[in-house]
Structure 1
């Protein structure tokens, strides 16, 4: 798993035209950005096309990302989200009024998907219950809130390598639980 520092280095090197850094950035971020675009556009083919366009924007605009305390993943997600919403608005031009355009970004799942999600969420929460309280909190903060290893280590007052071990072992326990 790439760290915030890795992402910042890859973005800086991408801004300088480094294709290998861009490839590493793509490999480590494209799944998350694809999921976001698919959720907004609700069409796999269009989401794939949008993802290509997003990475073209990242290639050309990586120099605009500055190390300013904000997560590089947040910057990438913002680029992807804005692009997907712009694409959706272009697709639906003339169909929606301004109030409806705001609702487009909501992209809530339908009843069937919501039922499946509730069931999966219940399984995941049950598995989280098997983890130590601090470790479960650390996993949530890392993978749902986007906190870095360094931020988590500081928050829980443990060495950085200890935090990495917590997260790795916790993810293994979660996977084992979910496979049962």
Structure 2
């Protein structure tokens, strides 16, 4: 696999992890606000949770979750059934691996296509989040880029001859 694809997959995973840390921080702040609200109720006070918390988390996780797929593919971290595969001849294992790499690349491109279609529709319809009023379509972009990178990594591995059986 070309070094640039591997580094790009690593960068996507790090960015996805950073987004998850931000989500954890916002979730902690929101939960803390609810705890403070329960305590403040004894003093006839009110502490509000973060407005738009659900909108924010939904939009952020939609991209962050997909950003780990290219890294997983680059490091061959996908699930395989070794129980059956280890008993097969090396030639057959290589062919099955190549078939799955091709299928994975095709599936990732298929998902990217439909995400692009969804982005176009969300933009044309002017879809906004219910509380924050943010446009939804820009949050499709990290997912689309992740699907395309995932497909490129799988195609690169396919081009290498699928060394790892």
Question: Do the structures match in fold with TM over 0.5?
Answer: no
Q: TM-score, normalised by structure 2?
A: 0.29
Structure of higher CA gyration radius: 2
Q: Structure 1-normalised TM-score?
A: 0.27
Higher relative contact order (CA 8 A, sep 6+): 2
